[in-house]
Copies of this chain bind each other. A is one copy, B any other.
């Protein structure tokens, strides 16, 4: 297999505006481990993709309680500096939840020969999950990295981890901890 690492919505706006929010605090715990994975993918020349919210102020999803953030063209929609980005990494500006929604990520992955993606970031129950499920819809295997993602509260995170550990889609869709991710990466 040829894997790619997808890092979803680890963005400056979220980390700067809500540094003490539960989801950011959870992220800060796993960033060192996520950076280890980024280093590993870089070392192996496997693609690393930063999928970043890139909204318009007028967007539909801001009609509810969400305040405009991660606006297209602003620094707030960029990945946080704590992550080990390389100039050769891919940036996907996404308008909604899934990194595949109205983007060319599927074509990029096919062009690069990728057949499996490892999905990390936030939030587990929205953007991480939809990215993993859309990967399978697009004929890629997907791994939700359960120890490298977080939700707005631990219950929502755990509910997703539990609900997708065992589905009829296994093993096209898997939920793996860091150790299991490493083993799968080495097994190739």
Contact = CB atoms under 8 A, between A and B. Distances in A.
Contacts of A106: 102
A125 B163 contact: yes
Contact of A125 (B108, B112, B139, B167): B167
Copies of this chain in the oligomer? 4
Interface stretch (A1-9, A90-98, A179-187): A90-98
B96 A170 contact: no
Contact of A169 (B61, B95, B133, B155): B61
Contacts of A137: 95-98, 101, 130
Contact of A64 (B59, B96, B125, B170): B170
9 contacts: A56-B112, A61-B169, A64-B169, A95-B104, A101-B134, A102-B102, A102-B104, A102-B107, A130-B133
Interface of A: 56, 58-61, 63-66, 73, 87, 91, 93, 95-98, 101-104, 106-108, 110-112, 125-126, 130, 133-134, 136-139, 151-152, 155-156, 159-160, 162-164, 167-172
